[in-house]
Every structure is written in C-alpha cells, then in structure tokens.
Amino acid sequence: MVVEVNKVVSVHYTLTEGTAEGNLVESTKGGEPLVFIFGIGMMIPDFESNLQGMKTGDQFSFGIPAAKAYGEYNKSAVVSIPKSIFEDNGKVPEGLLEIGRMLPMQDQEGNQLQGMVAGFDDTNVTMDFNHPMAGVDLFFTGHVESLRDADPSELEHGHVHGAGGHHH
C-alpha cells in the first residue's frame, strides 16, 4: 500500500521555518501523529504531492515556499480601524486589545475573518488580517507512520474516524 487518494495516512512530522534548522513551528514528536484522508483537499496540495507514493516507514524532508503554503505576507491586509468599533457601551472591554491577540471580525460583506491586534493608540487599532503563517516558508521532516484504506463513511463525512479523528 502506498500514499494515494482515499488512503488514511498517519504521519509524524516536525514543521520548521525555512529549513530543517529553522525555528520550530510544531511537531508531533512524543505525541499523536497527524491523521488525514489523502487527496480530498484537507491538506496543503504541496504537502500531499511530496508524500504521494510513499510507504509506511518512509522518511520525508521537503520545503514549501510561503506562496504555496499560507500565502505571501500582504501589507495591504494590515489596516487601521477606529477604536470605537471595539467599544461596548462606550468602553473597550478589559483585556480585549492585547498585541498579538486574535479577534473574530467581519468585513463589509459580512464575511467572518480572524484578525490579529498589531497595535493601538487612543483612537485607532491596527489589525493584521494576514494568516499567522503568511510569508513563512515551511519545511517538513518526518516519516509515514501508517496507512490504511478510508472506509466509506469516512469518505462520505470527509474526515477520519477513530484514532486521530472524529469519534461519533
């Protein structure tokens, strides 16, 4: 069996920035592996294309440039917003405006989006709507832990059942 469409793939991986020696972003080492159904759009396409055809125990090591991961950092996604819109009864709730904090927001069309508080003064708040990983080149190292066929209910639901997945 190899990694291909509709297989349930378990991998242990370490994600670092730029190169294998870059800053650690996250790692499954010492914990549960990442479990996903291959080829149904759950993962970054380049992540899947690098695993395609692998067998259990195969090691991997590859980079994905920011543009093909979470996108380039977009300066125009950093905007200044009047502080008044964060007010509730004329007052900004205690602790709401904290640099680095993610806040659920809405654009003019009513779409939900997450923004990060990047700064504020007495009148305005600077919000950064870039993905937290925007502009970061990703580097993955790891190995394929196990492989199995996805069962029909998993394919129907679009997620893994049992270990590493949904229990219902």
* Of 115, 157, 162, 164, the one binding Zn ion by CB under 5 A: 157
Residue 17 CA to residue 22 CA, distance in Å, equals 5
Under rule CB under 5 A, how many of the chain's residues touch Zn ion? 2
Which is it for the CA torsion 12, 143, 41, 129, positive or negative? positive
Q: Which stretch binds Zn ion (CB under 5 A): 19-27, 36-44, 125-133, 154-162?
A: 154-162
Quote the least distance from Cβ 159 to Zn ion, whole Å: 5
Q: Does 143 bind Zn ion (CB under 5 A)?
A: no
Q: Which stretch binds Zn ion (CB under 5 A): 14-22, 117-125, 141-149, 160-168?
A: 160-168
Tokens linked to 129: 């709507």
Single out the residue of 151, 129, 143 nearest to residue 70, CA to CA.
129
Q: What are the residues binding Zn ion (CB under 5 A)?
A: 157, 166
